[in-house]
Amino acid sequence: MRRQPRRVALFALWSAIESAPVLVFGRSVAGATDAFLAHRTGAALAWLGALVGAAVVGAVGSARAYGPLAAIVEPLRDRLVRYVVRGAVHESVRTGRTGNGAVARLSQQVEIIRDTFAGLMMIVQGFVFTLAGALIGLVTLMPATLLLVVPPVAVGLGLFLGLVSRSITRQRELILAEERIAESATALADGLRDIVACGAEDAMAAETGRLIDAQAATARAMARLAAGRTIALALGGRLPLLLILAAAPWLVRHGASPGVVLGSLMYVLQGLSPALHTLIRGLGGSGLRLAVTLDRVMEAGDVTPLPRPSGPGGGDVRLRGVTFAYGPEAHPVIEDLYLSVPDGGHLAVVGPSGIGKSTLSLLIAGTLTPSAGSVTLGGTPASEVDPEVRALIPQEAYVFGGTLRENLCYLRPGASEAALNAAVAEVGLGELADRLGGYDAEVRPAALSAGERQLVALVRAYLSPARLVVLDEATCHLDAAAEERAEHAFASRPGSLIVIAHRMTSARRAGRILVLDGTRAWLGTHDELLTDCGLYQDLHGHWSVPPPPAAAGGLRPEAATPRERRSQPSGVVGDANGVHPVASADLADDAGDVVADRPDREEEVARDLGG
């Protein structure tokens, strides 16, 4: 409300106009009563006409008050939604788990806060302006009546306000107690067999009983506070009525007419008492729910800012002894892998479905942390690299509602028209952009095909400042020609490119190819892998091994050094004739055959075996 003083002032103005009937009600009743007693029917009807006119004015004020109220409440809802989403995203990034309560907070708790806050604003403004109108009316009738009304109202209101903070605390304790009982009941149901098998029925019954007793004690405390609110209502709303009735003879003796006494009673009976009753019931019920719900939402959204990336990173990728498993007891998906991709390199990763290719892409992008080993980009740990340095495009491309320009420039806001045109032309989005109606046309994601969404995501990554781009089957919905065009565009773009390939044509376009087969890995060129890697031969459709080339160009693969290969269960050994998968346990058994086949490699094999 402090953020929107003009809207609050406008809401107060219309609320004051809405309270016009309260201001006029007692005075009109007093005037009409005295006029009827004096047989002045015209005057009496005039007073009643004034009351009707005030009711019309109040109705206009009531109708106009909802506009400023909505202008105050809806921004609150929007801020809370942003707050909840920020907290949920932060929690997911920090823990790697999706917050189960985020959806409930968005769909239920935020709406409860919005509706309850709006209702309480109406209640509070109604009470404030009704109280003011009634007190002003009493002054116009007979100021002495204020001595009979103001003290009990002040006492009752003070008692209620003193109970509010305690009520909020007890309401929160009650909600937490109910949540603990629900959690305990769920745990009991899930572990019932184990509880019975261990003979722990009595212990669990006692523990659950303590939770139930605590909840019951809190509920009894809430009931006592509710009784206190009833006493406050009786003091502030009923006692003034009794005092006026008791003091009526004294008021008449001191100049009050019957109409004045009746009008004073109307101000209390039709103004103060209902307003105080609504305030106490509203704040004592909806107000408590608002306070507790808002507190829970704010707790969930109150996050410590994540540390900013500490290093700029770069396009060169290095994996050193990387092992990753989806759980402490799970079999590793990737084990002791060494890999280097220089800045400007182009690597394709192939292997059977589910073998760990996407896991490798997430490790390189820094969104997964290895169980052992390290992943660095430009010498900086992948998890600490500035997000702008890398771009990971998954198979299911994400396109959001908005303009085409907003989708394409999301990773590079403010990109020039020339840069945008160049990216669209290179990747091959021009035809789609024309069909949609240009860059400023609204995009409906559901209206785009999977391949079209992939093209949008590819241009977004191409236009970004990322020095490393990882395409995790990001072209699988494109035809072969469109895929080739996109990959050529990224290969000619400054920086490094890693492609999780789903077609062998993608692998053949890469400078080097990494073949994954469980925890085994091969690295080499297309021709070398066709010669030495049976899995790659199968993937490529070759069932017979062609003769090795006469001269292969002196390959020294960077997937492992000789000393590193001794320590990893599956690495890559390379020589002039190609690449071979090597398990360290099998190296000694194969040494004789290797030396017999290639005597000039005797010294290298001895080095690999540690001398």
Segment 2-61, tens digit of pLDDT: 888 898 899 889 888 888 888 888 888 888 898 998 899 999 899 999 889 988 998 998
pLDDT value at position 425?
Answer: 93
Helix ranges restricted to H, 541-581: 562-567
> Average pLDDT, whole number, for the chain?
79
Q: Which two structure tokens, joined as six digits, stand for 81? A: 């939604």
Helix/strand/coil for 385: strand
Looking up tokens 């031969």, which residue turns up?
537
Helix/strand/coil for 318: strand
Torsion region of 580: left, alpha or beta (phi above 0 gives left; psi -120 to 50 gives alpha)? beta
* Residue 323: Cβ within 10 Å count: 17
In sequence order, what are the residues at sequence separation of 6 or more whose Cβ sits closer than 8 angstroms to the Cβ of residue 298? Answer: 83
Q: How far apart are the C-alpha atoms of 287 and 409, rounded to whole Å? A: 45
Helix/strand/coil for 198: helix
Q: How far apart are the C-alpha atoms of 197 and 199, rounded to whole Å? A: 6
- Range in 125-129, 178-182, 210-214, 405-409 with the lowest mean pLDDT: 178-182
Examine the pLDDT at 251 and tell me if it is beyond 60.
yes
How would residue 319 be classed by pLDDT, with cut points 50, 70 and 90?
very high
Q: How far apart are the C-alpha atoms of 42 and 49, rounded to whole Å? A: 10
Tell me which of 141 and 87 has the higher pLDDT: 141
pLDDT value at position 97?
Answer: 57
Nearest to 459 by CA among 431, 484, 480, 428: 428
Q: Which two structure tokens, joined as six digits, stand for 336? A: 């002791």
User: SS3 letters for 70-82?
Assistant: HHHHHHHHHHHHH
Torsions phi, psi of 332, nearest 5? -60, 140
Spell 115-149 as b/e; 16+ CB within 10 A means b.
Answer: ebbbebbbbbbbbbbbbebbbbbbeebbebbeebb
User: SS3 letters for 227-255?
Assistant: HHHHHHHHHHHHHHHHHHHHHHHHHHHCC
| The residue type at 79 | R
Examine the pLDDT at 536 and tell me if it is beyond 70.
yes
Q: How far apart are the C-alpha atoms of 535 and 542, rounded to whole Å? A: 10
Q: What angle do CA 105, 107, 111 make, to 5 degrees?
A: 85
Examine the pLDDT at 421 and tell me if it is beyond 90.
yes
* Residue 411: Cβ within 10 Å count: 16
Q: What is the dihedral of CA 388, 392, 393, 399, to 10 degrees?
A: -40
- Range in 83-87, 289-293, 540-544, 584-588 with the lowest mean pLDDT: 584-588
Torsion region of 338: left, alpha or beta (phi above 0 gives left; psi -120 to 50 gives alpha)? beta
> Long-range pairs for 32-39 at CB < 8 Å and ≥24 separation?
32/259, 33/257, 33/258, 33/259, 33/262, 33/263, 34/257, 34/258, 34/259, 34/260, 35/259, 37/258, 37/259
Examine the pLDDT at 423 and tell me if it is beyond 90.
yes
Examine the pLDDT at 197 and tell me if it is beyond 60.
yes
* Residue 369: Cβ within 10 Å count: 13
Torsion region of 304: left, alpha or beta (phi above 0 gives left; psi -120 to 50 gives alpha)? beta
Q: How far apart are the C-alpha atoms of 58 and 129, rounded to whole Å? A: 12
How would residue 194 be classed by pLDDT, with cut points 50, 70 and 90?
confident
Q: What angle do CA 396, 399, 405 make, to 5 degrees?
A: 140
Q: What angle do CA 336, 337, 341 make, to 5 degrees?
A: 155
Helix ranges restricted to H, 464-500: 480-492
Domain 5-301 has what CATH class?
mainly alpha
pLDDT in tens, 233-243: 888 888 988 99
Examine the pLDDT at 292 and tell me if it is beyond 50.
yes
Helix/strand/coil for 494: coil
pLDDT in tens, 495-525: 899 999 878 888 888 889 998 887 688 888 8
Examine the pLDDT at 77 and tell me if it is beyond 70.
yes
Q: Which two structure tokens, joined as six digits, stand for 514? A: 């990494």
Say how far residue 505 (Cα) sits from the centre of its chain: 40
Q: What does 519-549 look like in DSSP terms, one character per residue?
A: TEEEEE-HHHHHHH-HHHHHHHT--SPPPPP
Nearest to 290 by CA among 231, 298, 177: 298
Give the mean model confidence (pLDDT) for residues 562-578.
34
Domain range list for the chain? 5-301, 317-388+467-608
How would residue 99 be classed by pLDDT, with cut points 50, 70 and 90?
low
How would residue 283 be classed by pLDDT, with cut points 50, 70 and 90?
confident
Helices and strands in the chain: count of H runs, count of E runs: 24, 14
Helix ranges restricted to H, 38-145: 41-95, 101-104, 110-141
Torsions phi, psi of 191, nearest 5? -110, 25
For domain 317-388+467-608, give the CATH number. Answer: 3.40.50.300
